[in-house]
Amino acid sequence: MLDAAFHGDTSQKARPAKIFIDGEAGTTGLQIRERLRRRKDVALLTISAQSRKDVGAKRELLREADLAILCLPDDAARESVALIDDLGRDGPRIIDASTAHRTAPGWIFGFPEMVRGQADAIRKAPKVANPGCYPTAAIALLRPLVDAGFIAADHPITINAVSGYSGGGKSMIAAYEGGGAPAFELYGLGFEHKHIPEILAYSGLTRRPIFIPSVGNFRQGMLVSVPLHLGLLAGEPSAADLEAALRAHYGEGGAVSVIALDPPNSLERLEAEELNGTNILEIRVVASKKHPLAVLIAKLDNLGKGASGAAVQSMDLMLDLA
């Protein structure tokens, strides 16, 4: 299987690519399965609920698969990766949607638009780490501006974020849908959120950002914002300069879309759920008309471009299905 993937063999195109979603009963796994179930170019391999902890049964499915998508807790994901590694050349390629391997050596970060050449790296990779939803948005906002020299790597950055409760997994979903959760809450107040290493690794920042996310009483959708004092940035750029740098980085027509600065109707509010069900991430630069202040804002579906949509995007690249 790996020979076909790495050496450009197109024999797998004569049949649907075989995909095993390890952890298909979870939120991300269910979303991926829903996105793939009507496609003719992939065939989903399944394991019965009774056999999910049967290592022998899982090994045989992994041996049959062209690609495995891991939608598991971190420790379980590491166990599945070890099982695949033991299969050697008979093992499938991997997309891991857990946090376990996002900064690990030998893994490619599954954000194709992040930098030039990232999509090609994903296309060739045996192991791809699916980005987290918050880091996808934060990196999308920051990396182009760090690379362009507007934001210094050691600039103090604050990242504000709110997500729908589906990003919190089964227990949070049950709490909100059962009426046992608050309308809004901050979390990560220990300044040790699990996404911070990922943001540091790929944003270009060297100074640890302040990142305190929040969750609201809506199922899915996400807003991530980074406030900036323009006069403290290198060269004192205008908001238009920042927008131009973002637009030059992402171009037109891709999954990451830069929205024009200062739309005809003055933007005063932005809601989180508008992109639900899509694989789009929208970026805005919102500027004060009186003061040298701006806010970078990313909007996305935390279960789309922030999770299952990103995994399917990487799958298409890896199997030459895009």
Answer yes or no: 133 catalytic. Answer: yes
Average pLDDT over residues 71-98: 97
Summarize pLDDT for 34-65 with one digit per residue, the tens: 999 999 999 999 988 777 778 889 999 999 99
* Residue 134, SS3 per DSSP: helix
Q: What is the CATH number of domain 133-302?
A: 3.30.360.10
Give the C-alpha distances (Å, rounded to integers) separating 207 from 131, 151, 201, 240, 294.
20, 12, 11, 25, 20
Q: In what order do the strands lie in the sheet with 281-287?
A: 184-186, 210-216, 158-164, 222-229, 293-300, 281-287, 256-258
Handedness of CA 41, 2, 88, 23 (dihedral sign): negative
Q: Choose between 262 and 137: higher pLDDT.
A: 137
Residue 308 has what DSSP assignment? I
Report the pLDDT value the prediction gives residue 322, as an integer from 0 to 100.
Answer: 67
Indicate which residue of 32, 70, 119, 133 is catalytic: 133
Residue 1 clears pLDDT 50, i.e. is over it = no
Average pLDDT over residues 177-188: 92
Band of pLDDT at residue 268, cut at 50, 70 and 90: confident
Q: Do residues 162 and 297 lie in contact, with contact meaning Cβ atoms separated by under 8 Å?
A: no
Name the nearest CA neighbour of 5 among 118, 126, 128, 127.
126
What's the CATH superfamily of 2-131+307-318? NAD(P)-binding Rossmann-like Domain (3.40.50.720)
> For the ranges 3-12, 108-117, 213-222, which has the lowest average pLDDT?
3-12
Q: 127-129 and 158-164 as β-strands: parallel, antiparallel, unpaired?
A: unpaired
Instruction: For the chain, give every domain's residue range.
Output: 2-131+307-318, 133-302
- Provide mean pLDDT across the span 117-146: 98
Six token digits for residue 316:
């298409």
Among 256, 269, 249, 241, residue whose Cα is nearest residue 304: 256
pLDDT at 202 over 80: yes
